[in-house]
């Protein structure tokens, strides 16, 4: 499921860095996916 969505969003296969860790159970009953994200933005755009 995840790989198919990555291929749809990034057809050139230049995927963002990610880590997938299987766990026996998520935080709450009934949860299908748990996502934790960290984003860093530069104060100025990168030089081209």
pLDDT tens digits for 19-47?
A: 888 888 888 888 888 888 888 777 777 77
Instruction: Summarize the confidence of residues 11-26 as an average pLDDT.
Output: 85
Judge contact between 26 and 34, C-beta under 8 A.
yes
Distance of CA 19 to the CA centre of its chain: 7
Q: Which residue has the higher pLDDT, 2 or 7?
A: 7
Q: What does the block give as tokens for 18? A: 């990610």
Domain residue limits, the chain: 20-48
What value does the CA radius of gyration of the chain take, rounded to a whole number of Å?
Answer: 15
Phi, then psi, of 36 in degrees rounded to 5: -125, 130
């Amino acid at each position: 499921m995840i790989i198919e969505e990555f291929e749809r969003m990034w057809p050139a296969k230049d995927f963002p860095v990610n880590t997938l860790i299987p766990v026996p159970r998520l935080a709450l009953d009934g949860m299908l996916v748990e996502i934790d994200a960290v984003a860093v933005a530069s104060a100025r755009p990168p030089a081209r």
